[in-house]
Structure formats: structure tokens, C-alpha cells
Structure 1
Amino acid sequence: MKNNFKILTLSILSLVGVSSCTDLEIEETDSIISDGFQGLADPSSTVTNLYGSIAGQYADQGNFFALQEVTSDEHLIPTRGGDWGDNGLWRVLHTHDWDGQHAFITNVFQQWNGNQLQASQVLDSRSNPSTTNIGDASFIRAYSMWVILDNFGQVPYRDTELPSSSVPEVLTGQAALDFILADIDMAIANAPATSAGSGEANLRASKAAARYLKAKVLLNKHIYLGTAPEASDMAEVISLVDEITAEGYALQEGYFDLFLPDADTETIWALEANTINKIVMGLHYNSTSIQGGGWNGFSTLAEFYDLFEGDSESNELDADQNPVDGQEERRGGVPTIGTAFAGQPYASDNNGFVDGSNVGYGFLINQQYDLDGTPLQDRQGAPLTFKRDFKDGAGNVNFINNDETTGIRIQKYAARNGEASISHQIVFRYADAHLMKAEAMFRSGGDPTAMINELRTIRNTQELLGTVSEQDILDERGRELYQEAWRRNDLIRFGQFGRDWLFKAEGTINNDDYNVFPIPQAQLLANPNLVQNPGY
């Protein structure tokens, strides 16, 4: 702080000295004194660039994805020797020991507020936005502001009609919600009606995507206000999902096929986002040759894996990719041999096998196999067996000093689909809307058992539920939506983000302060309207 003050003082003195010695003329375009933003010459290009920016933010295994998933019971990254240490960057997210200097927290605050500002520039009347521009930009601004509200509890908003030097106002609570919901309504009015199964049209805002976002905001509204859920909000969530259903969106069989680029009835909004990071981030170095091998990082807790039907100690598939351990479809499995190459879509030939087809879908545990069925080994020559527990070299449960094989791994975007399928990442999916409606029914006194069982039936579970509790709904959301960046949000809404789990720091257990992240220190210094969140 003292050094920053000294630099600032010297800079001011330097400017004073210059002005006293010359007739300094400052160009009208100088950002310090300009009237501010004057409009975009090509708002359509800015919209295209915005979608590209969000795609990049979704493709990253760090930043936004890490804050939503690694902070939960769904993902953790143990330190394996010298790998994934990174000065505790990943560990503190899972233990809830983060602070305002954490790189991912800082990046998310900057990135999503940057999205919001660019969207505001498109919406400025001086940019002469088209109806399509307005639909896209209002959707992106609403979504970006909601991400900031959900993660930080307060949203800085810069009015593009004010000078660039003006300090952004900060919206919280009802004011933030009113702004976001007004933008969503603008998106519903201006975005196109995109029917289910229209494929690439889902890469942009649509009325269905905007209705989904509005349902998501209303379902979480009481969290931001610190109140109980309102019956009127839950009724609107149900109505919004019904409107999405009326456009032809529906649950579809073939769970893992949903994550291919093919058109389907479940994808409401997808991005041209690279999925390769999601494929290799958990695989062992020797799991596949695709992209030069895995990164051997991301794993899941055994307690999350145990939410799924099937043998807790095994998750194997036969040669025809059928489950042999009683596991439900969504849990996937480990093939004991690769699939013969026969020109399958998105696949490439590797000596007669589909490249990467030795890697399973879903959750990978125990012995892993090569394409020809040979048991794989780790780099030390030991069997490559992914394990439920995280233990160090002495056999003690530990977050550090793990070997290369600890932790069950997750594959939702699969290696077998190779390079051709890496440009399609789902953001909004109808199964989530279906579960939001079921939750809204439950929270307003209804019985969503039939809705939950409808989903379980189409996912080929072996048991249907007789009744549905709040825990049942949360568990079903976990089984359906894992690795889709919803787990933190769900745990908070169900009051379980603070519960104890493996390696959680003792002082953070049952501490609701951690439901939002700290405002980065640099942002507090730049904007006095921001106030640090409690507990930080």
C-alpha cells in the first residue's frame, strides 16, 4: 500500500510539473477526460466476439469451472509428487481456504464483468444495435451479471453513457435481480424462437435459453435476498419450463450421446467451446495418446461416486460397452478393450480400434486398459488402477504426496470422440430445466416424484423412488448434471455448501460466509462502492 501511494504521488507531481512548464494540450480522445463511450461501429462483431470469449471461459478447467466444481464435493485435485501443487492453488478451493488474492477468483470477477460491459456497449443506442443484437447482448449481460451476483453477491455496473472515469455503481439484492430480470425479459422479446433439435442454432441466445436463465435466477432468488422461496417465483419457474417444453425440448435417451455435436432435444444452449481440457484433465498420462496423454489431475470423492447405482467397488463394461456391475447409465464404466474402428462419426482409426475407446465414459475406477485389452501401467510400472482413496506414500489419507493412481476419474466428454467433437460444450440443458421444475413444485408444496422418476426411467436406473425428499432432488441433480458447472450453486441452494467433506478446512464447515467469494483486493481499491464480503 505504501509503495502504491508513493507511485501515485510521484505520478501526480510529474503531471503538475509538466503543466507548469508547457502549454499541454490533451487530445479529446484521452480516456481521462473524454465524455466516454461513443458507440460501436460494428455491434454484430462485438456480439460474435462475446460468444467467443464466453466459450473460452467455459473451455478452461480453471477459473469459472474450478470455482463451481472444485469448491464442491464433486471435484478435487490432489498433489501427486510435484504435479498439481501450484502453491496450493487447487487445494484451497476444495478446502475452502481461499482468499481475495486467489488467481481464479480475480479472473472470474474480471472476465464476467468484462462480458457485461461489452454487452452494455452493444445495447447502447449509439451502437445502433439490431433486434438480433439486442436479443444476444441482453441475454449475455443478464447471464454475466447473474454469474457475478451468484459468485460475489454484488455486481458493479458501468453506465456506458457516463464518462469512462466514472466509478461503477454496485447492485446487490433486489436491485441486482431487477436489473438482471429486466434484461432477460428483453432477451425473451428479441431473441429468436429456436426449436429443439435445431443444432447449431443453439449456439446463440434463443427465447428458450432466456426462459431457462430466468427460471434459474428465480429458483435462486431467495438465496440472494436471504428469504424463503416465494410461491409466485416457484409458479413462474414451472410456467417458464412449460414454455420451453412447448417448443419441443424434451428428455432424450442416450445420456452420453447428448455431449456430442449432434442435434438433440435436450440442448438449449451450447457453445463452440473446446472440450479437450475436460477430457484430459483427469486422465493418467498413459490413459490415451490423444493430445499427448492425460494431465492426471482432477478426481472425485468416493462419496459423490456412491450417489450412483451400482457396485461401489467396480464399474466395468463388457466388450460391447454394456455395464456389468449393476451401474446406472449415467455412471458409465471402464471398458476392458477398445472398440473396433468401423468409420464411426467423430472417431479416428488407431490400428483397427477407435482411438481413445479404451477410455470409458462417466466414472473410471480400478484397472484401466489399453486398446488391445492389455492392462495399463503407471509411469513406475505399477498397475494403472484408479482408487477410491487419497493416500500418501505412508498409507495415510492425505491431500498431498499422492501417487499417480489415487482418485476416481470423470469422463463426460469422451476421449473416443477425439478431436472432431471438441467444439461443442453444453451450457443449458433441458434435463436441468426438468429438474428445476420438479424442485419448484417441491418448494411450493407439490409432489415431484413422477417427474424425478420420469428422468430416472429414461436414464435406465434400476430403482424408482416411492417419494421424493429435498435430499433426493439434490442427489438427482448431482447424478444428472455432474461436471456441468452447477454443483456449487446447487449445494448453496440446498444449504449444503458448508457441510463437512474430505479435506474441508475445519474453520469453514457450516460457515455461510463462504457461499460467496471475496471481492478481489484490486477491485476494492479501484471502486469504493464495492464492500468486502463478510468473513474476508
Structure 2
Amino acid sequence: MKTRYILSGVLMALATVGCTDLDVDIKSVYTKYPTDSEIAIEAKISDAYYAFRAALGRRYDEGISCNSDEYTAVSFGGDYLNERDMANFSLHNVDPNACKSQLNVYNDIQSGITKCNQVLIDLGDENATVSAPVRAARAFYTFLLMDNWGDTPIIDYRLLDESGIVNRSPRADVARWIESELLEVRDYCPTEVSENTYGKPTRWMVDALLAKLYINWNVYTQDVTSASWSSTAANEKINECVAMCDDIIESGLFDLSDDYKKKFLYNNGAHIKDFIYAMPFDAITDDNDHALYYARFRTWRQGQKNNGFYSVALSSSVGGNMALTPEFAELFCLPGDRRNDVIAGDGTAETFDVYQYDAVTGEKTNVRNLYNNETPVTFTKQITLIKQDGDLNTGKDLTGWIQGYKSIKFFPYVEEVNAHSRHQSNDVPIFRYADILLMKCEAIVRGASATRGDTPQSLFNQIRSYVNAPTIATNPSLQDILDERGREFLDEHWRRNDLIRFGDFERNWGFKSLNPNANALTNRLLPLSNDVLNLNTNWEQNKGY
């Protein structure tokens, strides 16, 4: 199996009090840490680097994926209804209480910021080569909060006063702080790309994050919830986006040589040349709170029966409640496109005959999938509800279970899944070289100056060529780029971000029409959960919730 990169063992127990608890001196959560143990120091830094792992492995994935056009959550006669938590994300009706399981990842991400601050205090941030990657991680966590929730506290221990009160800063100010932090540390972050730096902030991770910040600059520095906001307005940072992309391209350290489907398998890792920054997962060593569970919710509801999806039977039940929307499934329609093989479905057809998938290679076999060893299983692209309401109930029978195509992009090693409580060992990329190429392509279409002889067409066709999809003969439109990003980055948690930037977040898909407020512009920001507000009584809920 794959080489294990995640450090385990000695980890310091950080204070359990939230860093925004108003009754506690903010600086009291930072205590002196012994610096005479290299193992302990490395473990502490590793804990800060991988603080996003718990959220990314399940709850962040559920909320962000279902809030985009990738998925509609469904339930099955009450199974996986769970107070409509995921259904509410799909309907753009996110509820601060019912959806708190997903929204509370805010606390997990903010805990990562606290861990970074603790490292900087304990080890000192005077030595830039030591502190720079930690500050980059802190900026990344702050970016996640700003991207999804808008106004966000800037929790830099050097900026905190003695009152212990942390206020949310305006989103535009947070974006500018993130930019200044990243520009300050980028030249001090490691440039090495190897097993030693895999999953850790590097110069190239900083460049990719800056590119992502710049391509969304109009989203973050303008009022995106205002009717006057425009997705095609001039972006003052668009040339800076290209510059960050070029720095990565010119490094020569990344490429598109990996097979599209294979690079997301359970044995991916530092050898994948497309991965700039990834979150490592390990089915064997991850505990239940820090594990990857993507297959559990993307495998069809009866996927554990009679070798019912993979060629090795799953020993535990699965959810199967994340179904690709018909609109999104139809993106997987290009002839010869390798990306078609990461969904159990056919974007050009209304039904898909299900065959078993080889448990080792993830490739489709010639063995037909039979329910209860007798009924051939055929998925339907369209999804029909028993009742037109927010339960999104397709029925608790075979007819209900087979509705909606499924993603098999993060294909699990079934033996590990069975032996380790449904855990997976697939590492999840956050920034990829393919994204750099498509961001540069988009930036030029949006008005940036072309560089290095690249054109939108040539950049776009680099993506098409490596997946064996048809190339294009002219420059792509913004709609072409959005569609291509959908095919390329399924399950990688950028789709919600993309839809908002392209002004497409209010388009009708799935069952959003069941919610009369689905098109409210305030939906472009997520609400804070009631749990988060109860810990931060000086904060106000986002508008519209």
C-alpha cells in the first residue's frame, strides 16, 4: 500500500477552550511548549498542518459539495434524512441549527488557526524558514472561512488585544490580510517537492492560494450579496493571478503526466505530479474523527450487498445519499474523455447499466451488478421524488435506491474500508497544476495580459489533451471554462466557489425550485451555526438567515 506520510505519536494536548471564548483571556490558551524534543516539535507542527483533515474527510465535503450543482442529497423513506441537514444544502436552504453538523467545521478550521498561532508562539516566528510555512497554513485556514462565510476574524496572535474579544473583520480586509501574509512568507517557504514536503505548505502552495485569491478578488472585496455585483466586472488583480500561475508553470516541478483516474485512487501520494498541495489520509492510522468517508456516501444505497458495486463486498452499510444532479452528470459527455470513467453513469444517456468495479484497479469489469443476485441494477440519470418537499425522498426500495448517477472518483481500497470502519486512504488534492492552467486560461479571457506565448485555447487544450478529450479550435468562452472546471474538479470542493465567481450560483438545478428563497443573493455566504454564535455572542448572523 501507499507510503504513510502522516506523523503519529506524541501530540501536545492543546487547550480545549475555544479561542473566541469571551470569558477567557485570548492569550491564555497559548502555553509554553518544550522545545528540546525534536519529535514533539515536529508532531506539533504536523498537527497544525493537518488541522483541516477532519473537516475535509466528511462534513466539509457534505456541505460544500451538496451546496453546488454537483450533488443533490436524497433520503430513502427516512433513511439519511437527518433533519434535512444535507438536503438543506442542496436546496440552498441552509439552516443554522439543522445543518450544524456541517456548519460546525467552522470551529475545526478555526482550531487550525489556533494551532498555527501556538506553534508560532512556542517556536518563535523570527526564523522565517521555520515560521513561513506555518503562517501559510494559517492564511489558508483563514481563506477557507472567508471564502465560505464572508466576514472572518483575523486571528494573528500578534494582533490580539488583552480583552480576549475577537471580532469578525470585513471580508475585503481579510482578503487583503491573507494577500499580505502570503506575499510576506512566499520567498521563505520550501521550494522542494518531495515526500518530505508532501501535504505541507510550500512556495508553490502559496502561489496557488494567491492565484485562487486573485481570480476571486471581485468576490471577496465587493459585496457579493448585492444585486449590483457583477461576475464580469474588471478585476484589478487579474494580472497578479497570471503571475502566480506563471511562477508555478515555470518551476517545471508539476505536470499532467498522471492518468486522470489513477491519480485519485487509494494509492496516490507524493508521486502524483499534478498535486501541488494535498491532504493525506490513511485508512489504517486515521481515527474515526479524522478519516476520509467519500465512498460511504457516494456508493449506491445497497452497494454493500452481493458484491453490489465493487468486486469485493463491503462489510458495512453505506449511505448512497449523494447523487449527481442530472445537469451536472451531463457534463460528462465528451467522447474519449477519461474523466467519464470517474462516474458510474453516462452523461449522454438517461440510464446506466451498472457493472462491478475491480476492487484493486477501480476499472469497470464485465460482471453485471445484480441486486440480491437476481435483478440487474441500472441507474437512472433523472431523480424522481415520492413527494415534492424538502425530504428529497426517492423511496425505500430498489426504485428509489437506483436514482442518480454516482461518483467513483476517489475509489477506495475495499479491503481497507472493510477492516477500518469505512476509512479510505485516498489523499485529497486541494491545489492542482490543472487548476493553475485553467485559472490562467480564465484570467486571460477575463482581460489579463497573455504571457509565455500561452493563449486561452492553448491552455484549455492542455487539459483536454491529457484526458484524451476533443480539443477546441478557438478560444473558450467563460461558459466553456466553467463547464471544463466541472469535469476536471468534481469532488474537489471548488465548484461552489466557481459558481459564485461565474455568476451561476442562482441557476436552477436539482430540486432548488422547491425552495422559494433559493435565489436569494445572501445564499452566496453560508450562515454561522447556532453553536458558533453561542460561543461568540458578540458576532451577528450573516444576512438572510
Tell me if both proteins adopt one fold, taking TM over 0.5 as the criterion: yes
Mean Cα deviation higher: 264-273 or 48-57: 48-57
Shift of 1:140: 1.2
Look up the match of 1:369.
Answer: 355
> In 1, distance between residues paired with 2:123 and 2:387?
66
> In 1, distance between residues paired with 2:521 and 2:295?
33
Matched, 1:237 2:241: yes
> In 2, distance between residues paired with 1:435 and 1:373?
35
> Alignment partner of 2:527: what SS?
coil
Amino acid at match of 1:190: Y
Amino acid at match of 1:245: I
> Alignment partner of 1:427: what SS?
strand
> In 2, distance between residues paired with 1:378 and 1:84?
21
> In 2, distance between residues paired with 1:185 and 1:497?
30
Look up the match of 1:153.
Answer: 150
Look up the match of 1:6.
Answer: none
The correspondence for 1:95, drawn from 91, 96, 99, is 91
Task: Please identify the structure whose Cα radius of gyration is greater.
Answer: 1
Shift of 1:244: 0.5
Look up the match of 1:287.
Answer: 309
Mean Cα deviation higher: 468-477 or 254-263: 254-263
> In 1, distance between residues paired with 2:210 and 2:294?
27
CA deviation profile, 1:324-366 (whole Å, cap 9, x unmatched): xx441111178xxxxxxxxxxxxxxxxxxxxxxxx89999962
Question: Is residue 390–residue 406 contact of structure 1 (8 Å, CA) maintained in 2?
Answer: yes
Look up the match of 1:23.
Answer: none
The correspondence for 1:251, drawn from 226, 249, 256, is 256
Look up the match of 2:439.
Answer: 436
Mean Cα deviation higher: 421-430 or 406-415: 421-430
Mapping for residues 313-392 of structure 1, pairs under 5 Å: 326-332=335-341, 366-370=352-356, 373-379=366-372, 382-392=375-385
How many equivalent residue pairs?
Answer: 463
Look up the match of 2:361.
Answer: none
Task: With a CA cutoff of 8 Å and minimum separation of 6, indicate the structure with the bigger relative contact order.
Answer: 2
> In 2, distance between residues paired with 1:68 and 1:308?
21
CA deviation profile, 1:351-382 (whole Å, cap 9, x unmatched): xxxxxxxx899999622234684422235953
Distance 1:375 1:142, change over 3 A: same
Q: CA RMSD in A?
A: 3.2
Shift of 1:158: 4.0
Look up the match of 1:354.
Answer: none
Distance 1:363 1:182, change over 3 A: farther
Question: Is residue 256–residue 273 contact of structure 2 (8 Å, CA) maintained in 1?
Answer: yes
Amino acid at match of 1:79: S
> In 2, distance between residues paired with 1:394 and 1:163?
54
> Any stretches of 5+ residues in structure 1 without a counterpart?
1-30, 311-325, 335-358
Look up the match of 1:297.
Answer: 321
Question: Is residue 274–residue 432 contact of structure 2 (8 Å, CA) maintained in 1?
Answer: yes
Question: Is residue 474–residue 490 contact of structure 1 (8 Å, CA) maintained in 2?
Answer: yes
Distance 1:362 1:58, change over 3 A: farther
User: Given the two structures, how large is their TM-score scaled by the length of structure 1?
Assistant: 0.78
> Alignment partner of 2:472: what SS?
coil
> In 2, distance between residues paired with 1:498 and 1:482?
19
> Any stretches of 5+ residues in structure 2 without a counterpart?
1-22, 36-40, 223-228, 283-290, 359-364, 418-423, 450-454
Distance 1:524 1:159, change over 3 A: same
Shift of 1:219: 1.1
Distance 1:333 1:425, change over 3 A: closer
Amino acid at match of 2:499: L
The correspondence for 1:201, drawn from 191, 197, 203, is 197
CA deviation profile, 1:166-211 (whole Å, cap 9, x unmatched): 111321133211221122123313210024xx34532211100111
Matched, 1:500 2:513: no
CA deviation profile, 1:61-120 (whole Å, cap 9, x unmatched): x2x112221111101221123321112111111001112222134312111111112212
Look up the match of 1:400.
Answer: 393
